[in-house]
Amino acid sequence: MQTRSWFTFDRARMAAALALMMFVASPAAAQKKGGAIDTPAISCTGATQTSIDIQVCAGATTGAPAGFSLQWLTAEELAAGADGVPGTADDNQWFASADAQLCKASFSGNANLSRYNLAAGECVNVNVGEFLFDNGASTNCPEGLACGTEYVFRAFAHATSALVRSNFTPILTGCSTLPCDEGDEGGCTLTQGYWKSHGPVPTGNNEYTWPDDVKAAGLFLGATSYTPGQLLNILLTPASGNGLIALAHQLIAAKLNVAAGADPTDAAAAIASADTLIGGLIIPPIGAGYLAPAATSALTNELSRYNEGATGPGHCN
């Protein structure tokens, strides 16, 4: 099974912080409120070699105005239990929310400009793996998923001032990333997460692996040339509701992939359209350019699919 090691971070500390947002309401709290939020419904709607798309739909009565949380494991991890040993008492039992082995993400509906304050029956799609971070989203597992792997998911809707949090959804099974054998080293693609962690300031034990011509001359995004250091700063900047930044993350990765030898055919039109859309805007934190997410989401998703191996030559193994 592929090891998720592109990012170095304190999983235990992040897990503890997220656990505070994922508490189970006490009976005393329930007595003070007027019932519970409807349990949402979740389904997997697509996948690449490094990510799975999850659709979350709020209940028909209460909605999910404060957002929701999502948790996931590999099917293998769930089968073996928290001790990792098959044939023991905790097999096929979900990990405790505070367990550092458990991946989780919070999507707050209370954040400014959040898209996660769901009305009754409203749905939203989130990409688990290469998160396109926006307002309200946080996770302890920001790295890509393992290729050719089945994952299991569950979710709950957050409490409001009047209602306690919902029950967990039933465990969602049957969601897998694409097989690992679609790309060959040297002519395949890598995600923006990889390029970020292998840039001018590598993280962990990684090396600076950007193509030599990009190391020397940087890249154009729109009409503006950016140095490698500036490109890395853009990759490190959360989108926070700015579609320009989310688009730039995937455009940088696509151009790095092409410069590294990946077949550009399936991305060429999207790359050209992204450069045209960006035009003379200067991307934060280098400048203060802004584009609405609605204006960039289609191109961002198309470039993301290329970088993650859903289109093009395939993701590197």
Interval 222-266: pLDDT, tens: 999 999 999 999 999 988 778 999 999 999 999 999 999 999 999
More confident residue, 4 or 217: 217
Confidence at 133, pLDDT banded by 50, 70, 90: low
pLDDT exceeding 90 applies to what percent of the chain? 56
Residue 132 is predicted with a pLDDT of: 57
Residues 304/250, Cβ–Cβ less than 8 Å = yes
CATH match for 11-176 among 3.40.640.10, 3.40.50.2300, 3.40.718.10, 2.60.40.10? 2.60.40.10
Residue 96 is predicted with a pLDDT of: 87
Residue 69 is predicted with a pLDDT of: 96
Phi, psi of 218 (to 5 degrees): 75, -160
The pLDDT of 103-119, averaged and rounded, is 90
Residue 306 is predicted with a pLDDT of: 93
Q: Please say if the pLDDT value at position 106 is more than 80.
A: yes
Q: Please say if the pLDDT value at position 13 is more than 60.
A: no
Q: Where do the domains of the chain lie?
A: 11-176, 192-308
Structure tokens at 146: 């393992």
Confidence at 8, pLDDT banded by 50, 70, 90: very low
Q: Please say if the pLDDT value at position 213 is more than 90.
A: yes
Residue 74: name the closest of 53, 48, 101, 99 by CA. 101
Extended beta strands in the chain, E state: 41-47, 52-57, 67-74, 103-108, 123-128, 137-139, 150-157, 172-176, 219-221, 224-226
Enumerate the H helices of 206-291 as residue ranges.
212-217, 228-235, 243-259, 268-278
Q: Please say if the pLDDT value at position 204 is more than 90.
A: no
DSSP 53-105: EEEEE--TTT-BTTEEEEEEEEHHHHHHTTTT-TTSTTTT-PPPTT-TTSEEE
More confident residue, 63 or 85: 63
The pLDDT of 59-70, averaged and rounded, is 97
Phi, psi of 162 (to 5 degrees): -110, -25
